[in-house]
């Protein structure tokens, strides 16, 4: 009896051992029961298309005037009139403000009077020099005939040289008085503050009656027929942007409008602290809608293709450092993992350089998939839910 019990127990052990070995072998070859009985994963799919794609880099910046300058006096004085207020247009050479010029007018009159005195002295010196020249010539002619002494000749020559020196001094004094008159007229002109370039008054710093010192700001004039949008670019974008590239500029004040501009300048260096370089975009602003100080968004097209293979960007996955996607071949319900090489990437579409993709691509549910996983397509899911609803309606009707 004991012998038969031992034989039975031994046989059971052998059967269990054989079953265990079989299961391990099937798992190692990928043909285990768990593999064959995996449930289908419900996924969403997209299609492979061919069409254009653009790579757009976005930046933020600030709008600056193309040029700006401060209107300030070169002389001191009290402001009599300011003709412009904030927002007023300004033409080149237009009068903006006047300073009390009574003192400078008086200085001009004094300079004119001094010039008249100097010219009168010059005329007198000229006549004296001419008389001295004639006397010198007369004495020289008499000396040749032996009718005058050498002392008389020396005296005539000395007098002529003295009168000629006085004439040259009077001539220099006239030039000095002319220069003084020109200087006083220039200072008088400084009492009229004019615009050096056309633009608009951006700020007004003083009002009539204020006492100004030299170089004290009166108004700020900005030129906004064109504007500059300044931004910074990272090292990653530096090699993709070049002067001359077209850009689109958007501002919050005009959300539905795009302003066309051009990359004008890129700094030849990176700031060590931020690792960024400054970039300037010039935008034509004939409409004067863009104002200095506005916050701006800039879009630069760094790459584009007219016709290439495209898939939804949500279909591309990165696993263990490899870029790929899950493809469902036509007529099958199995997801196949395919390694791909991507090109231009946008939030919506991704360019697939290689290989050529045939079939639909999984756009949602990839994290539940492995190569060869069965999938449940959207139309199958909707069909199953439709059958369930019809069954429920039949039960309710009964």
36-91 tens-digit pLDDT: 456 888 889 999 999 999 888 899 999 999 999 999 999 999 999 999 999 999 99
Partners of 71 in the β-ladder: 219
Q: What is the pLDDT of residue 389?
A: 46
SS3 assignment, position 186: helix
Q: What is the pLDDT of residue 38?
A: 67
Distance CA 52, CA 38 (A): 40
Decide if 251 contacts 295 (C-beta within 8 A).
yes
Topology classification of domain 59-66+224-304: Elongation Factor Tu (Ef-tu); domain 3 (2.40.30)
Q: What is the pLDDT of residue 136?
A: 84
Residues, the chain: 398
SS3 assignment, position 269: coil
Q: Among residues of the chain, what percentage have pLDDT more than 90?
A: 56
User: What tokens were used for 326?
Assistant: 């899950």
User: What tokens were used for 298?
Assistant: 């800039």
* Residue 342 CB-density burial (10 A; 0-12 exposed, 13-18 middle, 19+ buried): middle
Topology classification of domain 73-100+192-217: OB fold (Dihydrolipoamide Acetyltransferase, E2P) (2.40.50)
What does the angle CA 307 – CA 308 – CA 312 come to, to the nearest 5 degrees? 120
Segments making up each domain of the chain, as ranges: 37-52+307-390, 59-66+224-304, 73-100+192-217, 102-190
User: What tokens were used for 235?
Assistant: 């090292």
Query: Which architecture, in CATH terms, is 37-52+307-390?
Result: Beta Barrel (2.40)
Q: What is the pLDDT of residue 387?
A: 44
User: Residue 296's CB: how many other CB atoms inside 10 A?
Assistant: 23
SS3 assignment, position 395: helix
Q: What is the pLDDT of residue 135?
A: 84
* Residue 79 CB-density burial (10 A; 0-12 exposed, 13-18 middle, 19+ buried): buried
Sign of the CA dihedral with 365 first, then 368, 372, and 375 last: negative
Give pLDDT < 50 ranges for the chain. 1, 29-36, 381-398
273-323 tens-digit pLDDT: 889 999 999 999 999 999 999 999 999 988 888 999 999 999 999 887 889
Sign of the CA dihedral with 184 first, then 187, 192, and 196 last: positive
Nearest to 199 by CA among 105, 101, 84, 299: 84
């Amino acid at each position: 009896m004991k012998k038969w019990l031992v034989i039975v127990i031994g046989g059971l052990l052998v059967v269990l051992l054989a079953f265990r070995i079989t299961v391990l072998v099937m798992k190692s070859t990928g043909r285990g029961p768990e593999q064959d009985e995996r449930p289908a994963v419900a996924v969403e799919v997209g299609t492979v298309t061919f069409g254009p794609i653009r790579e757009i880099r976005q930046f933020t910046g600030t709008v600056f005037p193309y040029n700006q300058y401060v209107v300030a006096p070169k002389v001191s004085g009290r402001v009599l009139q300011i003709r412009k207020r904030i927002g007023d247009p300004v033409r080149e050479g237009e009068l903006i403000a006047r300073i009390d010029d009574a003192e400078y007018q008086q200085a001009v009159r004094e300079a004119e009077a001094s010039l008249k005195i100097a010219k009168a002295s010059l005329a007198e010196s000229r006549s004296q020099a001419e008389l001295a020249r004639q006397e010198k010539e007369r004495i020289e002619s008499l000396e040749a005939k032996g009718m005058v002494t050498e002392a008389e000749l020396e005296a005539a020559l000395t007098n002529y040289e003295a009168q000629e020196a006085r004439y040259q001094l009077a001539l220099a004094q006239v030039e000095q008085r002319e220069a003084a008159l020109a200087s006083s007229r220039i200072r008088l002109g400084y009492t009229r503050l004019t615009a050096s370039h056309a633009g608009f008054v951006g700020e007004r710093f003083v009002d009539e009656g204020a006492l100004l010192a030299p170089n004290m700001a009166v108004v700020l004039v900005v030129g906004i027929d064109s504007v500059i949008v300044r931004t910074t670019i990272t090292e990653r974008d530096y090699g993709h942007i070049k002067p001359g590239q077209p850009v689109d500029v958007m501002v919050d004040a005009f959300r539905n409008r795009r302003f066309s501009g051009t990359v004008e300048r890129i700094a030849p260096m990176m700031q060590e602290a931020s690792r960024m370089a400054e970039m300037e975009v010039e935008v034509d602003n004939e409409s004067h809608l863009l104002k200095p100080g506005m916050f701006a968004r800039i879009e630069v097209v760094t790459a584009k293709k007219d016709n290439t293979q495209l898939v939804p960007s949500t279909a591309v996955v990165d696993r263990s450092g490899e870029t790929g996607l899950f493809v469902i071949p036509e007529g099958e319900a199995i997801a196949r993992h395919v390694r791909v090489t991507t090109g231009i990437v946008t939030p919506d579409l991704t360019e697939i350089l290689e290989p050529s993709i045939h079939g639909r691509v999984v756009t949602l549910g990839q994290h539940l998939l492995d190569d060869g996983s069965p999938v449940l397509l959207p139309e199958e899911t909707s069909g199953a839910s439709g059958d369930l609803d019809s069954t429920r309606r039949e039960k309710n009707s009964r």
